[in-house]
Chain A
């Protein structure tokens, strides 16, 4: 089993996709990661459904995060950065997601993290409930029970909501 991290970004109308993909790649390289913009054959279905949910092929952009430009998936990111006990001086992947999310061309994002396969991913007709980027950052780091998990972010969503400590 190896950990895979994919996402689909909903872009603002008029965004130059080539320029934006370069910007994404530069952001990934800054962290030492790589990106792929075509889904592997085992996750084509999730990718095509996610793209449709986020506005279709003209608006949405699929990506897969990989641990370095020559690698095949995100597994080594998790192995290097997110092993128990956590070493907070090495945890960078959530910061990378924050940077992607804050690119001004992005309107919404759907991330999925799964371990080996998507069989245990909860199927939803629409999009999951939106959450704040900060909750997603925590969820990406903390979810170690092997369950596939999706994180939906929408810049028009009012999350986060104060619920007390």
Chain B
């Protein structure tokens, strides 16, 4: 089983095609700077306010599997963990308003076909902070269980306050 990682970004309402195209370029550059790649999911390239892509371990790879294998094996080597930084950078892009991160061991093909469905975006789970998502991604290491984890982030959600109340 191979680990795949998908990202759905919802852009700010005022974004136009130029913004969207620039952001696609920026995402590819950001990924390349880390040595990763991104693969836009073909069903959604026509949606203006959404960009959905699969993260790949290199521009030529088919999934994120080797990122997890190289960076997130036990015992953790904090010198080599960069994948959460990449997620943080994506999240901090000023055009991004909401994000969904999906980690699955079902394989990249399934992710491309099903996991980033409009329905899934509509049935969003409770938002988490980017830090909680980063923590969870590393905590899962390269484990195959759970088979799917989804993180929903919204820049308008004061999620840390909610978490404080939960403690």
Chain A positions within 8 Å of B, measured between CB atoms, are 84-89, 94-95, 98, 102, 104, 132-135, 137-138, 141-145, 155, 158, 160-165
Contacts and interface: CB of A to CB of B under 8 A. Distances in A.
B131 A162 contact: no
Q: Is the interface of B mostly helix, strand, loop or mixed?
A: helix
Nearest to A92: B92
A141 B129 contact: yes
28 contacts: A85-B156, A85-B158, A85-B161, A86-B159, A86-B161, A88-B91, A88-B130, A88-B155, A89-B155, A94-B131, A98-B85, A98-B88, A132-B138, A134-B84, A134-B131, A134-B132, A137-B131, A141-B131, A142-B160, A142-B161, A142-B163, A158-B74, A160-B135, A160-B136, A161-B139, A162-B136, A162-B141, A165-B136
Contacts of A98: 85, 88
A142 B139 contact: no
Contact of B138 (A84, A104, A138, A160): A160
Contacts of A165: 136, 149
Contacts, number: 76
Interface of B: 74-76, 78-79, 84-85, 88, 91-92, 94, 129-132, 134-136, 138-141, 143, 146, 149, 155-156, 158-161, 163-164
* Max chain B C-beta neighbours (<10 A), residue from A138, A144, A161: A138
Chain A at the B interface: SS class: loop
A45 B163 CA distance: 32
Contacts of B79: 104, 155
A84 B158 contact: yes
A138 B136 contact: no
A163 B136 CA distance: 9
A161 B91 CA distance: 23
A3 to B, nearest CB: 16
B155 A95 contact: no
Most chain B CB within a 10 A radius of its CB, from A84, A85, A132: A132
B138 to A, nearest CB: 5
